Structure 1
């Protein structure tokens, strides 16, 4: 098959060596053997595949990484090379290789040893570099700061030592207000693992990677350069579990858990919103209830840095101190809470036990039962957490159908043959528990044809499981922005249908459900589509109940960039009109076929809301509409929906329509109800 351009046999059970005869397919541009049981070396004949742009061999048992790199360097068009989980325990080669066009290089989780190789300096177009979960030693070479395009560097979970070089603060692309990406798609997802306990995070395109520097779980010492604050585009700077000392510069906001910091945590910027886990494991660090004049902060206790800084000696004693203090505080808070609860009566308890599963199921859930508690289950059969494990093939990555802020969503086939979607919440214990309870509380109260249906829930060890009805067509975000031909399949009539269904679901939350619910995270990825493309509003992990006579709820600054209403950043209060703003952004996505924030667009066009407003001011409304849906006979309907969207995104929340008005206006568009 000499004209073959794509060969993707990922996620099968193929065994043996790669066939050298495949080199005859010299038109191949995409080659994926990921997640099989292949072994042996990469055939030298593959050097003839000069058209290759994407190669993924991850999750196999290939050998001789030197030979593999020597082969693929001949593929001059290669932009993505994923070798994760291969070449176990080999030395990373120091020979000179030439990958001048490489944008993504992932060689994580291979247990490689040696130093960060000098030949990487030749990869001048690198945007994503993953060397995590190896056994690399030595220091971070200063020349990494010379990469002009790099936005994502993960060298976590190695044995690197020494000071973090100041040159790392020179990364040109991270000094911009928004990092630029060059090229916007990958042929298959790349999974990046940040925890042994939690599955890898899935990234489908380069623009999906958060601008990040993961330097955690090494043996770095010294202090933090204040110049890290100059990396304006940086979203994540993880320095946790190292041996860094000194104070925290006020120019940055970071996770610095398990180091040897001392002094007060700054209160400016976004420090007020950081969880305590971002600073834990620093005995000399003081914050809020632990002022710096306290005995612990001034006691001079520091973690002893062992001679072999790559180790983890000394954490046990530190954790002992933390656990002891936590237990003491927990007991004190328990006494206070018991007294408060007696004083305030049983109102709150009764509210929490209104979950439709009933008081019996509530007590079983609280006691840590591994039964899955179902709503409206009629067959009388119990389902256990082990049944869910089998239904998802032990939460196999091949079954991942979505990801959220606190977990992944898996496709499951239940014992009775029905399909389901299982959200597995993991991460920060406090926030995870809040999201879990918010979902159960909201969806046990709210039942509507345009809301996703919660079938059941379960607590299993440190995990929280939520079981939903399966939505055959995934999310609106997938069809508009991820699927290659998705936009062309979503004609105007279908988009209008989705808009109306989503509005009806939101109207139920705001007006009919008792008490009313503020969603707080309305966006296209939280609008799921069934087999008939009926819209179902989903993901209530950030939702809040709003009781009669209340006008708002106090909130942290939560939500998704591009959908957050402007008033949230000023008042930290969530209102029903905030959901209206977010829904208006979704309407603009349906009309324009563009993301709310697109860093690949030119300056002035990256923020969808601002761009739409500018187009209307300049009288260029026709440029707003997605060319896929533009037809002259639909111009009136398109303009009507654009007017509705613009009313929803009004900067003055008081001038935004209510959701009842939005539903009424949308029903008046076209002939469908």
Structure 2
């Protein structure tokens, strides 16, 4: 090997080492951030400096064991930003909005070269915007509004090639705005001392237009609007003429050229062409069906670059508000980024179809691993089931308490919890209820979900809340413990309880925990942990939604905090309820020939 080749090889090794960040270094950086933010004892307490990988920590999302997203919004932090965060080379999303963080933005933030969104909105940051942010060539969204930042906007920001949303409003910034920043799709410089007033040619906010400040732009906009109006009128006349002459025998829809590369605002979503997904799924071949439910079928697909995907073809494609509303809801779902939530890759929308594209999960769903094992496939062991329970709880907690607006799943069950390559829980299908036209469903109450998993108040009123998800989660815990379905009519041969919840309640009262546990586990589980999971499940499935815990409380109970007290309180209420029921039963003392339907009375009791 020549000396020149040796130098090149050495340089390549150094470059690789420079781009690699060990889990220890990532964990150290996050722990330094926790300390600098003055987090309380109860905040981010699972950010343990002795733990090698931070990928199991709350508020942290990872891809391939590298930190991908950090979301610490509205948590009341009052400290400063740690410069050590700059080592997270793979970080794509950093959200710290809605706190009371003080001090400057560290220049080391310019080292976050994978960053696509930096959200520091609504804090108390001071100092100047560091020019090092101009190194973030992948940055698309920069939110620094509602802070105390001063000085001029650095020229380096105008060199960001992918910037599409810049929010600097309500700061003490001053000086001239770089001309190139007015080319950003969406910007806001209002409530500052920046030069963008009536004496200048640009509006301070892109939402205000800008044509009123520039006669030439106003003229061009007027001409364009006029031409569009004429084109629309001509199209309507042509449509009327063709219908009058009965030329429409079939609907014909054509993919727009270049549709594959179109992007929408959030999360780097890809808009697929219908033809691309048709080819990927072999024309939606039934052999490629991975599963089906109330929202539609899911197909396995392979894109042209050999990427494996799962394509969900929604049943009720006519979403309220049409294509624009569908895209808005898709954008909302795409912002929900968490290691225990299924990441949305992209979507496809045509006049007759709505499709969502997700990564393919090679280990499929929890339900399939519990009840559809193929010969030779390993049983879902107890430690994995515990991880699934906690991971699912954390994913739902994020949807309920850290998304704005919050997202209610409406169909929590084992079939909608997927397993990645490491058998970690990934909640799928969240937010889908808002993407479809509920008016097309056959259920008059517009209920979305699966019988046996639906909370009683949702079934009777059609109104859902976070607590309806908690109920569904409780049933999913029972699926994990027993391996059984939420409704099983085969139990009618031995008992009256077709509902899994009633079946488990009965066995729990009789202290027959061994009869509850999935036989496939072959007793290889910790019976105390089984009892704990059943207790959490029964607390989650109480008939009154107000009595159910929140998902953040569920997470704490699964981690060993507060379960004993809550369970003791529940038992006291349950005993009183059953005693009252038995008292009424003895009082009326129905006989076999009674005209009253005793079964109906029993079913009306709390279940």
By the TM > 0.5 criterion, same fold? no
TM-score, structure 2 normalization: 0.44
TM-score, structure 1 normalization: 0.40
More strand by share: 1
Larger Rg: 2
More helix by share: 2
